[in-house]
Amino acid sequence: MVVAFNPPVAHVNHAYHTALAQYDRAVHYLSISDGVADFLRYPRRELTVNFPVKRDTGKIEMFTGYRVHHNTVLGPSKGGIRYSLGVSLDEIRALAMWMTWKCALVNIPYGGAKGGVVVDPKALSPRELENLTRRYAAELIPLISPHADIPAPDLGTNPQIMAWFMDTYSMNVGYAVPAIVTGKPVNIGGSEGRNEATGRGVITCMVEALRMQGQTNPADIRVAVQGFGNVGSNAALIAHKLGFKVVAVSDVTGGTYNPNGLDVPAVRAYLAETGGIRGFRGGDDITNDDLITCDCDVLIPAAMEDQIHEDNAPRIQASLIVEGANGPTSPEADDILSERGIMLVPDILANAGGVIVSYFEWVQDLQSFFWDEDEVNRQLERILIKSFEATVTTAEEHNVDLRTAAQILAIKRVADAVAIRGFYP
């Protein structure tokens, strides 16, 4: 039996508008030609696929997926794959563009890509999820390879999904290709430290920003984390272990707040047991909106796009924002936060830990030579601190906020590569 195909309903997504607005703001400070500036605004290629998946009931259901390559001037395109009902082509375009700037900012030899499927992964059984992943991976084979485009996990995906992705590609070419994806389980070519890398990078950037502000005692710093998936939960746990006072965390069910600090390992255990944070007895229930404006020193938005906007930016109490998510702050909110003197470490710097360690994983797979976790973390910290310092220097040179500085630095590196390579033919 075949289920009638209903294409995804177009919905408003402000991420691409935000990405383009940020780009235009940064380009204003650069001396690059109009032609190059226009070239860098556009995705290089976009693929939309509609594909069937057999459900456990025997029914065939159609799903829609995307893969966008924004730019490949600096190297193969790199970017995660998300499974979410909120996936849209405009969202994927924005995320691919941010990946281009992220990779350039931290000086790794990748361009930006992103992919996604319009699906609620929690509504699928394990077998259905595997069937969907393998069919989507097969649809992408014309675009992906270890030297052209390397996917990774993102919202709604995980190491197991990357393992299915790798196996599907490998079965099609006839031999094992660990380097086709990153974020895999360690025993099939994944890297030590990859799972925690994005959250660890967020906290590394937070510590550097606090040091800039003269705040060096973790026990005095109250941290709130919106989003408790891979990024948020690892950021909260690492901050907790370093002695910071994590006062609030939240997920899609709601959040919890304790001004004296939360027991983060207990929150993680409660989430694993119940499937949500709301109702955790070690704090008071709050909403995600409450968390954004709660009484804290550091706010880490690590959930979705469009969380900080002109309506709530005036009420934010944190003096430092470190973006664990991609695009959580609108351009209008950026202006409000800047006027209020609130420092913001932008997404393309703060959450770059994931793609940095993905790069390490890719290199290890290509060489079949693997590093231990201490080496991975040491190299991650080295690259992030160097990139943070370069961003601060650029901000001071142009008298701009850190987001604009990060984009200036990244866009210039890509534009310089375009100028050297030229245009084909």
Buried b (16+ CB within 10 A) or exposed e, 41-80: eebbeeeebeeebebeeeeebebbbbbbbbbbbbbbbbbb
Which of these is catalytic: 114, 184, 245, 412?
114
Quickly list DSSP for 31-67. Answer: ---HHHHHHHHS-SEEEEEEEEEE-TTS-EEEEEEEE
Cis geometry, peptide bond prior to residue 425 (ω within 30 degrees of 0): yes
Q: Is the dihedral of CA 9, 10, 13, 19 positive or negative?
A: positive
Interior CA angle at 381 toward 376 and 387, to 5°? Answer: 130
Active site residue 122: no
Beta strands in 269-410 (DSSP E): 284-286, 298-301, 320-322, 343-345
Return d(Cα 315, Cα 295) in angstroms, integer.
10
End-to-end CA distance of the chain: 50
Beta strands in 233-326 (DSSP E): 245-251, 254-257, 284-286, 298-301, 320-322
Q: Is the distance from CB of 308 to CB of 316 less than 8 angstroms? A: yes
Q: Is the distance from CB of 191 to CB of 370 less than 8 angstroms? A: yes
Return d(Cα 376, Cα 127) in angstroms, integer.
33
Alpha-carbon distances of 90 from 43, 65, 127, 234, rounded to whole Å: 11, 12, 29, 28
Active site residues: 114
